Amino acid sequence: MVVEDDKAVQKWITTTLETQNYQYHTAETGEASILEVVTKQLDIMILDLRLSDMDGGRYY
């Protein structure tokens, strides 16, 4: 799971994951990422700590 609201940074991360044949989901807001977390089985999350709608630090 890649949670990043900056499109350029999100693209850089997802392109890197693609080159290594990883499957991933993306979200641009904290609210959207919560929905993904509860509906998908995720192994890892790359989380932006300064999201536009909430502080990513609340996840810890």
At 25, list the tokens. Answer: 């989901």
What is the value of pTM for the model shown?
A: 0.84
The answer to whether 31 touches 54, Cβ cutoff 8 Å, is: yes
The dihedral of CA 30, 7, 60, 53: what is its sign?
negative
Per-residue pLDDT reduced to its tens digit, 2-18 = 999 999 999 999 999 99
Give the rounded distance of the alpha carbon of 6 from its chain centre: 11
pLDDT at 60 over 60: no
Per-residue pLDDT reduced to its tens digit, 25-53 = 999 998 899 888 899 889 999 999 888 88
Phi, psi of 25 (to 5 degrees): -120, 155
In angstroms, the first-to-last Cα distance of the chain is: 15
